[in-house]
Amino acid sequence: MNYQALSAQIRQKKSYLCVGLDTDSQKLPAHLANVPDPVFEFNKAIIDATAPYAVAYKPNIAFYEAQGPRGWESLQKTLDYIPTDCFTIADAKRGDIGNTSGLYARAFFDPSAAGLDFDAITVAPYMGHDSVLPFLEYPGKWVILLALTSNPGSADFQRQQVDNETQELFETVIQKAQTWANHEQLMFVVGATQSDQIARIRELAPDNFLLIPGVGAQGGSLADVSKNGLTKDGGLLVNASRSILYASSGTDFAEAAAAEAKAIQAEMATYLN
């Protein structure tokens, strides 16, 4: 899905909600324990319940990888089930030397390789340009580069003063990455818990979409993020995972997820106006 189509989806659904499919096999409702693929059945119900309110889905790959080969099968079935009008993100935080990043790109972007055809992948910047460029060689696919993450450890390196104390490392990451790709193929991850920095990031990256995790369970404010981050084309994908997936642990988990997603979408609609 390209920039214009994503922006159109945001206008149409009045939503920039991304649902994080961080499906923990140990947290599923008890009544799903005996179906053949509980993770997929859970995801299917969550997708059905939330698709009217979400423009994107983001499985975090760790949750599937921790299940071994059958986890990858659940992931593949889940991705195939997501409606084609939704943007899909492999939250994988990959990155390696060039020929190896090329294989990760093949894994997530080339359906003839591992059966996966995501629109986008999250990538860690530490190894620099040649660890990122192989993902950009797939026309129409996106890199979502970690910039300023939502966790406490973001202070350790991302906020190091660099360049003679003139700026912080995450700012250098955002600036350099824009020499590798434009806003039609490059987004940045910025934690919602860093909302005081979003206005600054908008100066550095006026047109790039920002993928914002950390609203909900991690405590970030949707109002603050939206005020500082929205652009004329949308420009934000705000992710919620646990608050939607585990809104109820009973047989009504999908209805509870829909209600939570609908509430977030309704709040987003007010900020889009």
Task: Give least dist CB 237 to its own copies, A.
Answer: 17
Q: Which residue in 100, 113, 201 sits closest to 149, CA to CA? A: 201
Minimum CB distance to its own copies smaller for 9 or for 78: 78
Contacts of 249 (CB under 8 A, 6+ apart): 27, 29, 30
Give ∠ CA 183-94-96 in degrees, rounded to 5: 100
Task: Give least dist CB 213 to its own copies, A.
Answer: 8
Minimum CB distance to its own copies smaller for 162 or for 272: 162
Task: Give least dist CB 92 to its own copies, A.
Answer: 9
Beta-bridge mates of residue 142: 120
**List of residues contacting its own copies (CB under 8 A):** 22, 24, 60, 62-63, 65-73, 76, 91, 93-98, 100-101, 103-104, 106-107, 113-116, 124-132, 146, 149-158, 160-165, 169, 172-173, 176
H runs (alpha helix) in the chain: 3-13, 38-50, 61-65, 69-81, 98-109, 111-114, 129-136, 169-177, 195-204, 222-229, 242-245, 253-272
Element (H, E) at 122: strand 120-123
Task: Give least dist CB 216 to its own copies, A.
Answer: 13
Residue with tokens 């824009």: 178
Q: What is the rounded distance in angstroms from the CA atom of residue 93 to the CA atom of residue 158?
A: 15
CB 89 within 8 A of CB 56: yes
Minimum CB distance to its own copies smaller for 14 or for 128: 128
The catalytically annotated residue of 93, 227, 232, 262 is 93
Task: Give least dist CB 147 to its own copies, A.
Answer: 10
Minimum CB distance to its own copies smaller for 33 or for 155: 155
Catalytic residue status for 93: yes
Q: Which residue in 84, 59, 89, 58 sits closest to 74, CA to CA? A: 59
Minimum CB distance to its own copies smaller for 164 or for 273: 164
Task: Give least dist CB 160 to its own copies, A.
Answer: 5
Q: What is the rounded distance in angstroms from the CA atom of residue 170 to the CA atom of residue 190?
A: 10
Minimum CB distance to its own copies smaller for 127 or for 263: 127
Classify residue 120 as exposed, middle or buried by CB count within 10 Å of its CB (0-12, 13-18, 19+): buried
List active site positions.
93
